[in-house]
Amino acid sequence: MISLKQSKDDEESFLKVDAVLEQYGLHADARIKTFYYNLVKVSRIINKRRELTNMDLDLLRYFLEKTQCKIDVVDTADYKVEGPPDVKKTKEVEEKIEDETRDGDDMFGLPESEF
């Protein structure tokens, strides 16, 4: 019987997990990365595959999308993968808001000439 515990592409699979985390803009320490890697590895083993597939990575994506935000329990009833957020667009919006926001120092209190 072929052992599914070890795979020839384990190192490549770990790099794929890192790539998915990077797509989602998540910075994880070694312990969390190991958890995510084990998640896709267990999926591969349960489904009796010797190599990691997109189905395993979709499980990771689903897990990331459902655990990295506030959701209701009813939102976990479907298995729909939205995809990573557009980090570049979000950063551009945040920078635009920052640029257009006035400095609040002169908004509160009495003007200096009032004393």
pLDDT digits (tens, 9 = 90+) for 58-111: 999 988 888 776 666 676 677 677 777 777 777 787 888 777 776 555 556 666
Percent of residues, the chain, with pLDDT higher than 90: 10
| Residue 74 within any structural domain of the chain | yes
| Residue 107 within any structural domain of the chain | no
| Total of domains in the chain | 1
| Residue 15 within any structural domain of the chain | yes
CA distances from 83 to 45, 65, 106 (A): 24, 8, 43
| Residue 109 within any structural domain of the chain | no
| Residue 114 within any structural domain of the chain | no
| Residue 30 within any structural domain of the chain | yes
| Residue 78 within any structural domain of the chain | yes
Higher-confidence residue of 77 and 44: namely 44
Quick count: other Cβ atoms within 10 Å of Cβ 25? Answer: 14
Q: For residue 66, what pLDDT is reported?
A: 80
| Residue 32 within any structural domain of the chain | yes
